[in-house]
Amino acid sequence: MNIFRLTFILHVLLSFISCAEDSREELQLEVSGPITFEGNVRQIIAQDCLNCHTNPPRNGAPFPLETFEEVMNRRVDIRNSINGRTILMPPGRRLSQPRIDIIETWIEQGFLEN
């Protein structure tokens, strides 16, 4: 088999693996009832933001996002970033639409903590 075919097959296989992984993550984000920080948003922040937005912040992040209060203080920045209005966060990619929808719904429902 030539190198081109082998490379093509490898790319196809990796794309299927990647899609399967995304689907499993999104299934964990299904919600019913009001969306809360502790019940829904904290999981997204932990998986997608806390690599840099720790206390103290790492990798050039300007602020931490570890607590409800820290997230509330930066809610406008977070909303602008996840929607691509400012610097796209997380770096190099966009949050999946289900994750954005959860954060947007949380904001629209009044930033419930619990």
Q: Which residues, 6+ apart, have CB-to-CB distance to 45 below 8 Å?
A: 53, 65, 71
What is the amino acid identity at position 38?
Answer: E
Q: With a threshold of 0.75, does the pTM exceed it?
A: no
Per-residue confidence band for 42, with pLDDT thresholds at 50, 70 and 90: very high
Per-residue confidence band for 27, with pLDDT thresholds at 50, 70 and 90: very low
End-to-end CA distance of the chain: 57
Give pLDDT, residue 55: 95
How far apart are alpha carbons 40 and 34 in whole angstroms? 9
